[in-house]
Structure 1
């Protein structure tokens, strides 16, 4: 189920969000001319087509992802010998390879860090990867009731639990936080970052449930689907889609006061509500 080509075909939401954040910070990014890393780069399409073009022409980029087959796809499809290559890296590792330590001028990450369980270790690794005085720009999903909470429930279902494991893997670290922006800022400052920007933003996405689920389930977090019998896998997907649609419709009705929706059954064109955390921070000069 870890299908980078499928993900790239359905990740318009991610492309749009990444483009907007990159444009917002364009003045800071255009002067970056050193060695950069895109953490959780996935298939590499955003790294190649959206991120790299806004940097100084002298900037080079390494995209990293936890999945070997995803990195192979990215290298084959988007890699080049001059400015862009892709490597396997678990950003939560407790044994960060020496070749990464204090070697990078900027770190990016879009729509990936929400799947990290040990967020402190992850940010400590990013801090170690950066050279002193250098920067990171990240966008991570904070709250997504329509996705996280069904997954949390399903991870405790006797049908799926043996395959899914710990339910905490499927709920973003800030989903239940009353003050996610403050918590993230405090964590970054405690690690040693100077935080230039940290915001918690409300978002919505009108992508159809079918397309959204095709994107989501093609990621590393859903590798457990490969271990399921075909019939159970389909049952899981159908149930997840149903719960996702049910929650996003309820949120929409509660927000607008519409008690009858034309496409309520399929959830067509009804936006899914979620929030994101955006942070731009700098490693302190030693």
Structure 2
């Protein structure tokens, strides 16, 4: 059984260390921002970043891609992330951070029809009510204004390992509904089409919608440190220490097992090369990217 060192688990829910591990997210976001640079550079109004985390990407990548007159509100469900973001990256003129559950059925009135553009990167895969999520985004946009999102669509090694853990009698009472741990499009046979149809049904005009494969080159150790700092893993704080460590080791083992199998299938190898370690090989997953506009009427 694969057991990772104790030091690896002490990173959990620490915004500063979260920032130190989010290079993969930064690369993905930078790539998408560059792709849509022509559409973004003239945006000069009020914007929101949904699922902003500690706020580094919001300030350093998103805000800098917009017109210098644009302002930004970063929102996240994690209070400690928002507190850190305001202290570290907030300013009175262009950038502030607030707590918001994007799946809420009671959207604060102050957000309705207030925004010229809304971003969301690597966050919406955790929304079990994806329709409510996009309806809220639609409501927050002003007529004719736009959103750009990147969400993880399918990630077998991650989602399916976590889903299995939620069905394990040892952890189920802490984790709750297993559906919370699988992206809303993970089991879809046509994720791009399903997302596009959903957005159009809500009222968006979809200018771009794509389904893409990308690689995660982080070691398993760093990846697990990064993802367990997210809100989805808040249940770990409720577990006794020994059960928490057992969960993390078992989750890592299952993730690695599926990842190795998929890696071998992709490479056509029956075995890993001698120099390759199971915890260091890259993993492949799929994302959805959408750029859409709220109807004027």
What interval of TM-score do these two structures reach, taking the shorter chain for normalisation? over 0.9
Which one of 126, 129, 150 corresponds to residue 118 of structure 1? 129
Q: How does 1:128-207 map to 2 (within 5 A)?
A: 128-207=139-218
Which residue matches 2:9?
none
Which residue matches 1:58?
69
Which residue matches 1:272?
283
Which residue matches 1:8?
19
CA contact (8 A) 1:196 1:281 kept: yes
Segments of structure 1 that go 5 or more residues without pairing to the other structure are: none
Q: How does 1:3-82 map to 2 (within 5 A)?
A: 3-82=14-93
Separation in 1 of the partners of 2:25 and 2:67?
Answer: 23
After TM superposition, give the deviation of residue 266 of structure 1 in Å. Answer: 3.2
Which residue matches 2:293?
282
Deviations 1:76-128 (A, max 9, x none): 01000110000011100000000000000000000000000000000000000
| CA spacing shift, 1:263–1:218, aligned 2, 3 Å | farther
Separation in 2 of the partners of 1:118 and 1:7?
Answer: 26
Separation in 2 of the partners of 1:284 and 1:128?
Answer: 11
Which residue matches 1:234?
245
CA contact (8 A) 2:260 2:278 kept: no
Q: How does 1:231-270 map to 2 (within 5 A)?
A: 231-261=242-272, 262-263=274-275, 265-268=277-280, 270=281
After TM superposition, give the deviation of residue 265 of structure 1 in Å. Answer: 4.6
Which residue matches 2:96?
85
Separation in 2 of the partners of 1:52 and 1:210?
Answer: 31
After TM superposition, give the deviation of residue 2 of structure 1 in Å. Answer: 2.8
CA contact (8 A) 1:22 1:51 kept: yes
CA contact (8 A) 1:249 1:264 kept: no
Q: How many residues matched? A: 285
Q: Structure 1 segments of 4 or more deviating over 3 A?
A: 263-266
Q: Secondary structure at the match of 1:251?
A: helix
Separation in 2 of the partners of 1:255 and 1:61?
Answer: 41
Deviations 1:113-149 (A, max 9, x none): 0000000000000000000000000000000001000
TM-score in terms of structure 2 length: 0.94
CA contact (8 A) 2:76 2:100 kept: yes
Which residue matches 2:3?
none
Deviations 1:192-215 (A, max 9, x none): 000000000011111100000001
Separation in 2 of the partners of 1:248 and 1:225?
Answer: 23
CA contact (8 A) 2:130 2:184 kept: yes
Separation in 1 of the partners of 2:167 and 2:81?
Answer: 29
Which one of 216, 220, 227 corresponds to residue 209 of structure 1? 220
CA contact (8 A) 1:181 1:200 kept: yes
CA contact (8 A) 1:143 1:276 kept: yes
Separation in 2 of the partners of 1:265 and 1:14?
Answer: 23
Segments of structure 2 that go 5 or more residues without pairing to the other structure are: 1-11
TM-score in terms of structure 1 length: 0.98
Deviations 1:225-268 (A, max 9, x none): 00011111111111111111111111111111112213555331
